Chains A and B, each alone.
Chain A
Amino acid sequence: MAKTIDTQEKERINYTRDYRHLEKIGLLYMLQMLILLIPLMIVYLCSYTKLTYAVADFSANIISEVTGKATSLVKLDYLPIFGGVYCVNMQGKSPSFTFSIISCMVSLVIILFLSVAKTKNKPLMIFFTIALWIHFASSLYFVLFGRFFPYSLNDYSELYIKQQVMVWLVIMAVYMITTSMIPDMFVYRIGLFMALMILDFLYGVVRYVLYMVIIAEGSYIFMAVLFFIFGIMFDFLLLVAVYSIYIYIAGCKYRNKKRGDMWQWS
């Protein structure tokens, strides 16, 4: 006879976990966290103009050094009341017809290769295939209608900074809302929150510099894929990664007696 679940698997989820839950006080706690969040968001909204100035100033210096091209800072209107944003202005580069053709062909070849390749990680393969199709569409656009391309590098720069300001705000809010569902974890929540915001801020700046350099040196042909695939999705990936650490800590903490007593059973 094969091992039954009584002797083998059952121990993994024991009966006491079927219907356990936290006290309703958790809802009140969530509300308190949201009230705390509002001043934090207001501080952020009042200071994002200075923040974007620092980001743009730092990025402009690096980009100039790497590309050897002239850069300048420009202030643009954004949210009323809270003020505008700064971003880097510089000359972009349109792809040549030959480069667009080559880019088209290379994308197609890699797509074909990926479609027949044996890979264990299919989600990553599909992710890159979608990225390549977008790049193929972009390349084809430049082959056929290149001179009608409606954006400059300055448009991209403006969009990036405006989006990033919003992403930081949304991540702040989403993190607080989703982590405050589990009470009595204040220190860990705040510690991980600071780590998340610092990491995401650094990531946002590095990515800004990198993408500006890629588009300035490589051409507008890369703009679509950078925007749609390698864009802000990764900020949220970072959020979920930090959230999983938080849940891991909560899972460990709630096993001990003190927090274990917080469980309720129906």
Chain B
Amino acid sequence: MVVKILQGYFIFATCIMLIYAIRHFLFTCNRLFYRQRVSYRDIYDSDLPRVTVMIPMHNEEAVLHNVLDSLLNCDYDMDKLQIIAINDHSDDRTPEILEEYHSKYPVIQPLHRTEEGERGKPVGLNDALKIATGEVIVVFDADYRPSKNLIKKLASAFMDPKVGAVMGRVIPINDRKNILTALLGLERTGGYQVDQQARYNLNLVPQYGGTVGGFRKSIMLATGGFDTKVLAEDTELTYRIYCKGWSVVYDNSAECYEESPETWDVRGKQIRRWARGHNEVLFTYFFRFLGSPNINFLQKIDGTLLLLVYAVPFILMLSLADCMILYFLGEMNLFAGWWIILFMGIYNTWGNFAPYYEIGAGAFLDGMTTEIFALPHLCFSFFFYMWYITLGFFDAIIDKVTHRNVKWAKTVRFNKEK
């Protein structure tokens, strides 16, 4: 009986991997061979909405000038732009630098959060929502560098009344720094150029990513603002928007440059936090999303697979333990059949985020050449992700069971340019 259960679990894990492999294969074919769904560039001449840009900051003195200078250089009508720099309990020179910017450029409005109480991105965004004057809210991280026409591209999507949020494309600026940043560059390419674009093409569930994206303020206010107990406020907002009958638009041409983590320790903490937050959303939205009358069948399938994306590495980790037990129980013959080959063949895609052929297609479309040689290293980073995401999964379970408060943590910055 025990052996049967263990064998059953092994087959279950293999099926999960197979489903993700097929999903990504379809996305890759769609992105490579089919007409692409462009964003709303054709309605540039329309009267674009007033936009509030929010930039949460905690000790960002080293990088904040990049995002602010880029925004000041953008081609959006400054009379329709408000930039709120949220200083969240910084103890470096961030407040002073923001005041300097404010004195020179009144469009930049610092919001100093210094009082005792809750900290973190969602809380800061909620405070900023109270003073925001824009109909559309666009959020950037402090280390991002928006392109000149990014705001215009993002804002124009909201001329469509069905659109609840819009997401742009994130491109690492430091991808030639080391093997980690090179891998992150490739992952971003697969994730945005292929995965997000294909999901948008197919009218599935493109994800709002929390930065380089915007949403309607009215939706956020009507649904109670950001949930301060959730670490992945972006994923939560995506599912909230779909459940309420709105859609998310992906604009592949709305590019923004980010600084990727440059050390594995920092990346490990980041991915663990994402896994924790994403799985919290999974526990909250799994049945709510499936039961929503506002979402079609294919969107439900895609959205559910997207929700499960940070649970799958845990399923894989468990299946490794499962295989070990079967091995010591004398069931090694199971692995001689097709199942193990399928398992390994699918597992060779190294993770359910973006398998190698999806990344390869993205790199090809982006015109990359030597950068692609980092691809085989995905094999080892797969174990790294499996480890940290599993830890994040357990964090989320403990959060759920004990109702403990989540603590927001900032990703370490590496840019020391100014």
Contacts and interface: CB of A to CB of B under 8 A. Distances in A.
B264 interface: yes
B372 interface: yes
B324 A228 contact: yes
Interface in B358-392: 360-361, 363-370, 372-373, 375-384, 387
A223 B335 CA distance: 14
Given A13-B171, A18-B252, A19-B38, A232 B356 contact: no
Interface stretch (B11-19, B27-35, B109-117, B121-129): B27-35
Nearest to B263: A120
Interface string A8-22: 011011010111111
B367 A5 contact: no
A247 to B, nearest CB: 4
B379 to A, nearest CB: 5
Contact of A181 (B28, B345, B378): B28
Nearest to B66: A2
Contacts of B34: 21, 24
Contact of A5 (B145, B179, B348): B145
B44 interface: no
A6 B384 CA distance: 35
Interface stretch (B91-99, B289-297, B304-312, B325-333): B325-333
A254 B365 CA distance: 10
Interface in A218-232: 224, 227-228, 232
A232 to B, nearest CB: 5
A4 B75 CA distance: 13
Q: Is the interface of B mostly helix, strand, loop or mixed?
A: helix
A174 B360 CA distance: 14
B78 interface: no
Interface string A160-194: 00110011001000100010011000000000000
A244 interface: yes
Given A21-B32, A21-B35, A236 B348 contact: yes
A162 B336 contact: yes
26 contacts: A1-B73, A2-B70, A2-B418, A4-B69, A13-B171, A17-B365, A21-B32, A21-B36, A26-B33, A122-B265, A123-B383, A126-B380, A137-B328, A141-B328, A155-B332, A163-B335, A163-B340, A170-B341, A181-B361, A182-B32, A228-B327, A240-B375, A244-B373, A248-B370, A251-B367, A266-B38
Interface of B: 28-29, 31-38, 65-66, 69-70, 73, 145-148, 171, 173, 179, 197, 252-253, 255, 257, 263-265, 268, 320, 323-324, 327-330, 332-333, 335-336, 338, 340-341, 344-345, 347-348, 350, 356-357, 360-361, 363-370, 372-373, 375-384, 387, 417-418
Given A159-B335, A166-B341, 16 more contacts: A4-B73, A5-B145, A5-B255, A21-B32, A26-B32, A123-B377, A130-B320, A130-B387, A151-B330, A159-B332, A163-B335, A163-B336, A224-B328, A228-B327, A233-B344, A255-B367
Interface of A: 1-2, 4-6, 9-10, 12-13, 15, 17-24, 26-27, 30, 120-124, 126-127, 130, 134, 137, 141, 150-151, 155, 158-159, 162-163, 166-167, 170, 174, 178, 181-182, 224, 227-228, 232-233, 236-237, 239-241, 243-244, 246-248, 250-252, 254-255, 264, 266
